[in-house]
Structure 1
Amino acid sequence: MSAESHGPDLVSVVALLGAAVVAVPLFKRLGLGSVLGYLVAGLVIGPFGIGLFTDAQAILHVAELGVVMFLFIIGLEMEPSRLWGMRQQIFGLGVAQVGVCMALLGGIAWLAGYPPVVAFVAGTGFVLTSTAIVMQMLEERRMVGTRAGQRIIAVLLLEDLAIVPLLALVAFLAPGAGVTSAFERWQAVGIGLASIAALVAAGLYLLNPMFRLLAEARAREVMTAAALLVVLGSALAMQLGGLSMAMGAFLAGVLLSESAFRHQLEADVEPFRGLLLGLFFLAVGMSLDLAVIGANWVLVAGGVVACMVVKAVAIYAVARAGRADHREALERAVLMAQGGEFAFVLYAAAAAVGIIDGPTNAVLTATVIVSMVLTPVMIILHDRMVPAAEPSLDGVEAPSHNEARVLIIGFGRFGQIAGGSMLTRNFTISVIDIDPEMVREANAYGFKVHYGDGTRLDILHAAGAGRAEIILCCVDDRDAALRIIHLLKSEFRGIPVLARAFDREHAMRLLAAGADEVVRETFESALSIGRSALIRTGTPDAEADEVIATLRRRDAERFALEASQGMEAGRRLLLSHRKDWLGDGAEAARDPAPQQGGG
């Protein structure tokens, strides 16, 4: 970095943050997407722009942790059962796409004059799509949860996992690989397998007890530190075993995907993932060597066009062979036509062992970077040239009401009963609770409850509040319930929120905060026991029901009056109701005082 200062290099930090803050909102407002904003900002402040930074590779090495954390979060979303359900897409569609693209792109490099081994490495590197760019595009286009998005993610997963055997293959293809003994090769394989086994064992037997102890301590910063420790520690374990850091993070995420602390982990890692992923895109923009492109512009331009066109055609053909319709196949081809960040890793490894020389590595790297820069532009052109599909159920499956998501916040005695009604209708439920003991006990009885603080917006996002059809706030903390309602109604407008209230005053405050409906936890139970008492003292069932209905109606009238005119108006209405009951000869039931503590 060119900027010099005494102490921390705040100029560089401010430059990075300033570039992102200015470029990303501007490009999103222009409809060009955040990724292109990061890339252009990196080019402007990099060594081939105004020169605030001279060593883009140093930033890129740090920023690769953003990709690592991104794959950890993807792993958290991929429960083992879900991965097993996607096995045909991952190992069927993924293998087909990777195999066809490797053959075609390797052939193009060979036709361009590269030796066979160099052509294989050059073509294979371009096959590895940018997970960071595609996932960012899927999120912006809200495709992550769609069937089309899931098929793209399946291919990305296979490509990310493919980097491991590809790096091993590069080592075997190295000019000096013949002097490596068979024992050393098998030793390297054994170390890699041991690293995977150790990580799996830690995930199964150590991580959940560790997070349980930390949750009981209620130290938020320690939970965040533990989440980062898991991500970076798993990445380091794989790196020491000679494998991909990204694979380690993904595997750790999968192992924790069914943990009760999944939502908390996702929320803790997400801010770091976002920052580092943005830094990654900035570093990619800085790495765009304009001198190399200028000196070899014919080779780079021809390589970009040829590789992107051939890869897109291959992806489209494989998609159509996999029974995707034209629109889905075309969109997948445009999204995945570029090279990716793992190409840098593969090319660097090939250069380190002497398969490719420095100038060839620079040209190949520039080709990949240009393709990554062009991807957001291609998406924009695709969206403008291909009109959005009209809403239709032809050829797609309509959402099933039986699969409607229900978010329950708080799973104590109140939340468990409320959630039981949802389970009887086979609704899928997402449940979070801040009490680790409650989470442990609920999971022991077969309920799937996750640890998480409902007063945190990032936790609510991670728990699926934005995708829920209805949200039940059942926490046993007055102030926490109010904060949760405020967050839900300000961030997730349009989703009905039902809330548990402690008394009349609390119910009014919840309604004022935006709750769609409140239920006082003691009111309905008090009416129920009152009805039972009437029946046991000789009152006919029909008459008892009429009494309870009248009480419920009058309480609703009083509640509405108090909400609009204040507690004193409600007290006057209560007195008039009592006079009515006494005038009819009935025993007046003493309604609790309308102040805090009343039903």
Structure 2
Amino acid sequence: MVSPLSNSGFSDTLVILGAAGLVIPAFARAKISPVIGFILVGLLVGPFGLGALVGDYPWLYHITISDPHAIEPFAEFGIVLLLFSIGLELSFKRLWSMRRLVFGVGAAELIGAGAVIGFGLHLLTGLDWAGAMALGIALALSSTALVLPIAGTTGPVGQTAFAMLLFEDLALVPIIFILGAVGPMAAAGGMMGFARVGGAAVLTLAILFIGGRFLLPKLFAQAARTKSPELFLAASLLVVIAASLATSAVGLSPIVGALIAGLLIAETDYHSEVEVITAPFKGLALGVFLITVGMSVDLRAILADWGAYFVGIATVVAVKAAVTFVLLRLAGIRGGVAVETGVLMGSPSETTLIVLGAAAQAQLIAPGPASFWQTVTAIGLTITPLLSMLGKRAARGFERRGELPDAEISPEGPGTVIIGFGRVGRMVCDMLAVHGQPYVAVEANIDAVTAARAEGYPVIFGDVVRPELVDRLNLGRARALILTMDDPVLSVALTRRVRGWVPDLTIVARARDTAHAAELYKAGASDAVPETLESSLQLAEAVLTDLGVAVGPVIASIHEKRDALRQEIKAAAEMVALPRLKRVRRAAAAAAGDAAEV
């Protein structure tokens, strides 16, 4: 009979693959980074979670990881592939276009926040200067894997964060190099050992760069000619592993070699194909690494000393947010963007764990403090979405205090009021301007407001959830209200509220579908325009025109069909609302009869 321990590797593999199959789709559906999910899975199935109960409940063995150390090699390979992918994404052209933010604000933020945190650790904990600064730099890093999916790369916050994260990714090379050079191999021989390791490292890096520039294009050209994805993948992994082994052999971290391999391949014509073909392996291997991070978190230890962990994460977030905000303001970045970016960049990074491991391996940080700050980092990663929400609120509060003055509303009335200045709202405003109709738009996204103001649009910053803002719009004198925001519940509630105040106002609302349009008609909308209906009519119009049917009859038939469908939606809404209206009338008649009797 085979003992359970003999197939522990299969059991652990099943848990990991099952976690990937459940975590990635579930968190993607919730628009949350899977990084958090993998950490939570590690916490749940690790030795401090359900794994601690295997002795009492043996069946838990099959859904927990029995030997955390057995999967550490896979976790290390995940970090190697993560650094390789970072190297693939770097581009000298992109760096040059963003050089002021990348090498100015990005460098100042990493060095400044690292120095402040390191100085505080030296004073408060007694760490020597080298260990304190290494720990400060590690904690000053921010999460590329979490921040960019949350902020994107197109808006002001996303572009600013991307520039600083890009510098941090570049800085990993010298950081890991320095920490590897002062590791045990160098420390054992003093300054001579340090110089020997440094010289060997420089020579190895030079060989990698020179050899890679000549050999990699030929290697991938041969792989491309075979048109075999398997061979292309094998060549990519061969380059990563060979570069990692080369840097490991001279005393550097293997992730230095992985990052250099990515940089070299990024300069070839095959970087896009390599990035696509290695992405699934990178995601899975990174997930294994994050599971090991979660397994190292002891909730009982956190609860027993929760004050220290709270102070640790709060201090790191506060210092990084403050340093980032000040530097961005000095660089001329708008206050709201600086506030939101600073708070979002406040938590540590998954690369913090890499630097912590390198510092611990170099014997700059003792195992105890390294474990404490590893737990702080894991907590910081999980609260990054919360920091994003806090940053948005803080930015709105900052802007609301008067940095961005509101557009003036005429006492005679605003003309047409458009709620929501997104893609649809902008198109409506353009058409009103073409026909000389006065209007004012209201938008809750401060970045959209600023961009619209710069283009000359009369846009007010505000959230229509607040009744006082709606009162300020002077809707009693407006000619029409147009609701374009993509929030079905809010649009229905706002329609109902405004209709109660201004019975004769024309209210035109954007609807997701016919059911939502019926709800808007019941709430009092003059017209509700379902997106699905309009896209279908436009498609029919394009087909008929392309088939050679005259434009005039096509437009007339489209108008007739639109009117017929709107009448059907209104009739359906009235059918639903009729019983309710009868109940209200009966209740009013009964109340009037009771009053007459009295």
Q: TM-score range by the shorter chain?
A: 0.5 to 0.7
Deviation at 1:221, TM superposition (A): 1.0
Work out which of the residue numbers 373, 377, 384 in structure 2 matches 1:375: 384
1:542-561 alignment runs, 5 A limit: none
Residue in structure 2 matched with residue 388 of structure 1 by the alignment: 445
Residue in structure 2 matched with residue 112 of structure 1 by the alignment: 124
Deviation at 1:278, TM superposition (A): 2.5
Please tell me the residue identity of whatever aligns with 2:275: E
Distance in 2 between residues matched to 1:46 and 1:142, nearest whole Å: 38
Seen in structure 2, the aligned counterparts of structure 1 residues 375 and 396 have a Cα distance that, compared at 3 Å, is farther
Please tell me the residue identity of whatever aligns with 2:285: L
Please tell me the residue identity of whatever aligns with 2:138: G
Distance in 1 between residues matched to 2:28 and 2:278, nearest whole Å: 24
Seen in structure 2, the aligned counterparts of structure 1 residues 142 and 23 have a Cα distance that, compared at 3 Å, is farther
Deviation at 1:269, TM superposition (A): 0.9
Residue in structure 2 matched with residue 326 of structure 1 by the alignment: 335
1:114-133 alignment runs, 5 A limit: 114-117=126-129, 118-133=131-146
Superposed CA offset, 1:311-334 (max 9, x none): 211122122222222233233223
The range that moved more, 114-123 or 383-392, is 383-392
Residue in structure 2 matched with residue 97 of structure 1 by the alignment: 109
Please tell me the residue identity of whatever aligns with 1:225: A
Answer whether contact 2:181 2:251 (CA < 8 A) is retained.
Answer: no
Work out which of the residue numbers 143, 147, 152 in structure 1 matches 2:159: 147
Deviation at 1:246, TM superposition (A): 3.2
Superposed CA offset, 1:536-578 (max 9, x none): xxxxxxxxxxxxxxxxxxx998xxxxxxxxxxxxxxxxxxxxx
SS at structure 1 position matched to 2:318: helix
Superposed CA offset, 1:420-443 (max 9, x none): xxxxxxxxxxxxxxxxxxxxxxxx
Distance in 2 between residues matched to 1:100 and 1:389, nearest whole Å: 28
Deviation at 1:222, TM superposition (A): 0.9
SS at structure 1 position matched to 2:132: helix
Residue in structure 2 matched with residue 487 of structure 1 by the alignment: none
SS at structure 1 position matched to 2:105: helix
Deviation at 1:370, TM superposition (A): 1.7
Deviation at 1:80, TM superposition (A): 2.9
Answer whether contact 1:296 1:363 (CA < 8 A) is retained.
Answer: no
1:11 pairs with 2:11: yes
Deviation at 1:392, TM superposition (A): 4.9
Answer whether contact 1:89 1:154 (CA < 8 A) is retained.
Answer: no
Distance in 1 between residues matched to 2:338 and 2:6, nearest whole Å: 54
Seen in structure 2, the aligned counterparts of structure 1 residues 95 and 312 have a Cα distance that, compared at 3 Å, is same
Distance in 2 between residues matched to 1:157 and 1:373, nearest whole Å: 21
Answer whether contact 2:341 2:391 (CA < 8 A) is retained.
Answer: no
Deviation at 1:67, TM superposition (A): 3.5
Residue in structure 2 matched with residue 304 of structure 1 by the alignment: 313
SS at structure 1 position matched to 2:383: helix
Answer whether contact 2:317 2:347 (CA < 8 A) is retained.
Answer: yes
Distance in 2 between residues matched to 1:143 and 1:276, nearest whole Å: 30
Distance in 2 between residues matched to 1:291 and 1:30, nearest whole Å: 29
1:222-237 alignment runs, 5 A limit: 222-237=231-246
Residue in structure 2 matched with residue 160 of structure 1 by the alignment: 172
Seen in structure 2, the aligned counterparts of structure 1 residues 368 and 171 have a Cα distance that, compared at 3 Å, is same
1:335 pairs with 2:344: yes
Superposed CA offset, 1:40-77 (max 9, x none): 22211112221112544553542243343233333333
1:80 pairs with 2:92: yes
Distance in 1 between residues matched to 2:141 and 2:88, nearest whole Å: 22
TM-score by length of 1: 0.59
Seen in structure 2, the aligned counterparts of structure 1 residues 367 and 7 have a Cα distance that, compared at 3 Å, is closer
Please tell me the residue identity of whatever aligns with 1:251: I
SS at structure 2 position matched to 1:391: helix
Residue in structure 1 matched with residue 472 of structure 2 by the alignment: none
The range that moved more, 243-252 or 384-393, is 384-393
Superposed CA offset, 1:384-412 (max 9, x none): 665533535639999xxxxxxxxxxxxxx
1:42 pairs with 2:42: yes
Structure 2: tracts of 5 or more residues without a match: 52-63, 397-443, 456-534, 536-541, 549-598
Residue in structure 1 matched with residue 222 of structure 2 by the alignment: 213
Distance in 2 between residues matched to 1:145 and 1:379, nearest whole Å: 11
Distance in 1 between residues matched to 2:324 and 2:135, nearest whole Å: 18
Deviation at 1:208, TM superposition (A): 0.8
Seen in structure 2, the aligned counterparts of structure 1 residues 68 and 302 have a Cα distance that, compared at 3 Å, is same
The range that moved more, 243-252 or 315-324, is 243-252
Residue in structure 2 matched with residue 423 of structure 1 by the alignment: none
Please tell me the residue identity of whatever aligns with 1:79: S
Please tell me the residue identity of whatever aligns with 1:372: L
Residue in structure 1 matched with residue 20 of structure 2 by the alignment: 20
Distance in 2 between residues matched to 1:247 and 1:327, nearest whole Å: 37
Work out which of the residue numbers 256, 263, 267 in structure 1 matches 2:272: 263
Distance in 1 between residues matched to 2:147 and 2:344, nearest whole Å: 6
Answer whether contact 1:164 1:244 (CA < 8 A) is retained.
Answer: yes
Seen in structure 2, the aligned counterparts of structure 1 residues 149 and 297 have a Cα distance that, compared at 3 Å, is closer
Deviation at 1:36, TM superposition (A): 2.2
Distance in 1 between residues matched to 2:28 and 2:294, nearest whole Å: 17
Residue in structure 1 matched with residue 294 of structure 2 by the alignment: 285
Work out which of the residue numbers 190, 201, 204 in structure 2 matches 1:192: 201
Work out which of the residue numbers 167, 180, 183 in structure 1 matches 2:189: 180
Seen in structure 2, the aligned counterparts of structure 1 residues 168 and 234 have a Cα distance that, compared at 3 Å, is closer
Superposed CA offset, 1:224-278 (max 9, x none): 1111212232233233333343333332222222422222211211111122222
SS at structure 1 position matched to 2:451: coil
Deviation at 1:143, TM superposition (A): 6.4
Superposed CA offset, 1:267-310 (max 9, x none): 21111112222223322222212243244332222111112211
Seen in structure 2, the aligned counterparts of structure 1 residues 185 and 226 have a Cα distance that, compared at 3 Å, is same
Instruction: Give the root-mean-square deviation of aligned CA atoms.
Output: 3.7
Distance in 1 between residues matched to 2:245 and 2:382, nearest whole Å: 30
Answer whether contact 1:68 1:246 (CA < 8 A) is retained.
Answer: yes
Structure 1: tracts of 5 or more residues without a match: 399-493, 495-515, 518-554, 558-599
Distance in 1 between residues matched to 2:83 and 2:360, nearest whole Å: 26
Distance in 1 between residues matched to 2:245 and 2:148, nearest whole Å: 23
SS at structure 2 position matched to 1:288: coil
Residue in structure 1 matched with residue 78 of structure 2 by the alignment: 66
Distance in 2 between residues matched to 1:250 and 1:6, nearest whole Å: 36
Seen in structure 2, the aligned counterparts of structure 1 residues 143 and 238 have a Cα distance that, compared at 3 Å, is farther
Distance in 1 between residues matched to 2:454 and 2:158, nearest whole Å: 11
Seen in structure 2, the aligned counterparts of structure 1 residues 201 and 165 have a Cα distance that, compared at 3 Å, is closer
Distance in 1 between residues matched to 2:180 and 2:8, nearest whole Å: 39
Residue in structure 1 matched with residue 366 of structure 2 by the alignment: 357
Distance in 1 between residues matched to 2:342 and 2:327, nearest whole Å: 10
Distance in 2 between residues matched to 1:397 and 1:54, nearest whole Å: 59
Deviation at 1:160, TM superposition (A): 1.9
Distance in 2 between residues matched to 1:199 and 1:346, nearest whole Å: 23
Higher helix share: 2
Please tell me the residue identity of whatever aligns with 1:282: I
SS at structure 2 position matched to 1:372: helix
Distance in 1 between residues matched to 2:197 and 2:181, nearest whole Å: 12
Deviation at 1:204, TM superposition (A): 0.8
Distance in 2 between residues matched to 1:120 and 1:146, nearest whole Å: 28
Please tell me the residue identity of whatever aligns with 1:114: G
Distance in 2 between residues matched to 1:55 and 1:75, nearest whole Å: 32
SS at structure 2 position matched to 1:9: helix
